[in-house]
Amino acid sequence: MSARNDVPPDTLGVELTEDGIAVEYVDDREVFYRGVPTAVEDSVRAAPGKDVHVLVTDASETQGIMLYVNDLNTHDDILESTGVGRVMVDDGDEEPLFQGVKARSESHRVEVEADLSVVDGRVFVFVEDEMGEQSFEIVENA
């Protein structure tokens, strides 16, 4: 595995539907996260080895930023062309992702925590690997 850098995110288009969440990259491609996200309070903690993607929407729920946390597979130029950001979090550390949202890494597990009194929109966390994907929304009262 090669070292990867932090990459700042761009604002992306977001569409919340009954079937899932569509995110439109700045290069006009779209990714669709299927299913209604599971509501969880405060934070999401992923198992080791899982890919973690965080989407924070604005109050309109039609725009947002997406960050990959500790992604070692996607090259910087691909992230830059799509508008997706990346944050690398060293084991035992935490990093801010967005105002009121932070990620920490402990024993190769990524945990995403949100203070919803500070966040103006919604916070979604997608946890996936080659076997499948799970989606979560961090809410005040699950």
pLDDT beneath 50: ranges in the chain? 1-2
Element (DSSP H or E) covering residue 79: helix 76-82
Taking CA atoms, 45 is separated from 58, 80, 97, 124, in Å, by 23, 26, 15, 13
Closest listed residue to residue 56, CA positions, set 27, 80, 88, 87: 87
> Per CATH, is 11-139 categorized as 3.40.50?
no
Could you report the per-residue pLDDT of 27-67, keeping only the tens digit for each?
Answer: 999 999 999 999 999 999 999 989 999 999 999 999 999 99
Q: What does the domain layout of the chain look like in residue ranges? A: 11-139
pTM of the model: 0.94
